[in-house]
Amino acid sequence: MFGNWIKTSILMAGIVALFGALGGMIGGQQGMLIALVFAGAMNIWAYWFSDKMVLKMYRAREVDASSSPYLYNMVCELAQRAELPMPKVYVIDEAQPNAFATGRNPEHAAVAATTGIMQMLSERELRGVMAHELAHVKNRDILISTISATIAGAISSLAQFGMFFGSNDEDRPNPIVSIILMILAPLAGMLIQMAISRTREFGADRGGAEISGDPNALADALAKIDAYARGIPMRTAEAHPETAQMMIMNPLSGGGLKGLFSTHPSTEERIARLRAMA
């Protein structure tokens, strides 16, 4: 838990510094001050509201014991096993099999599953997946995951703004240098996400297997999701690739630059570790 708070603090501080540098490149000293204020305000907003933004982005609808008893009761039972507060439960109307967790702490957490994953997996396999997501909640991965997704999107937007509105005044650097920085900024955000996601997925796999008590169930689910997810596009994830690292399986098609930034460890290695646990 303490380690994740350090990572989150470093990420937020790094974002403030990056925004300040970009603001300076775009608008000189005044641009730097505006960017620093914006970065500070964005960090505060991301801490409190980024989870709601991501859920709205995916048009997730909250369910309860009466509207979706199958999923809700499953999450309730697993949360009790994990000794966690009951999270909010959401369903996303997407054919691609996938799931994610979000929120700022276990007391303000949510788990979401697509209709595709609910239809494709057996009860035992889906149980393994939801246990994996609850492990993210228990490990307190969800704050840095959601904030990094929000901030990476903001970096991309700022970079695009700079490319269109960069100036050629004498007191500012060469515009070619500015353009290069604008291109590198969103890539830096994606690299941050990649580094965060790769390590935590193994931990959530292990934690999920312990919560469900069935490592092979999660292994079977990962194998099935990997076989089908790539052939079923998820429009929202393609439009907002910065959110891909939140999913249990990379939802992106892998075309173009997206394929260079895999946010998850290899499925084969994840499955092998789970089989070893069993």
Residue 182 backbone dihedrals phi, psi, to 5 degrees: -65, -30
The encoded tokens of residue 203 equal: 């931990």
Q: Pick left, alpha or beta for residue 38 (phi over 0 → left; psi -120 to 50 → alpha; otherwise beta).
A: alpha
- What is residue 157's predicted lDDT score, i.e. its pLDDT? 61
**How confident is the prediction along the chain (278 residues), in pLDDT tens digits per residue?**
555 566 666 666 766 676 677 667 666 777 778 777 777 777 777 778 888 989 999 999 999 999 999 999 999 999 999 999 999 999 999 999 999 999 989 999 999 999 999 999 999 999 999 999 999 999 988 887 777 766 666 666 655 555 555 544 555 555 655 565 566 556 656 655 555 666 789 999 999 999 999 999 999 999 999 998 878 999 999 888 878 888 999 898 765 444 445 568 889 999 999 999 98
Distances (CA, A) of 7 to 4, 107, 121, 138, 147: 5, 20, 34, 16, 11
Q: For residue 180, with 0-12 CB atoms within 10 Å meaning exposed, 13-18 middle and 19 or more buried, which class applies?
A: exposed
Check residue 154 and give its pLDDT.
Answer: 65
Instruction: Give Cβ neighbours of residue 255 (< 8 Å, ≥ 6 apart).
Output: none
- The predicted pLDDT at position 260 comes to 47
User: How many folded domains does the chain comprise?
Assistant: 1
Which residue range(s) make up the domain with 233? Answer: 2-277
Give the active site residue among 83, 94, 123, 133. Answer: 133
Question: What pLDDT sits at residue 33?
Answer: 80
Query: How far is CA 207 from its chain centroid?
Result: 18
Contact assessment for residue 149 and residue 236, using Cβ atoms and an 8 Å cutoff: no
Query: What's the predicted TM-score (pTM) here?
Result: 0.79
Closest CA to 257 of 270, 248, 244: 244
- 242 counts as catalytic: no
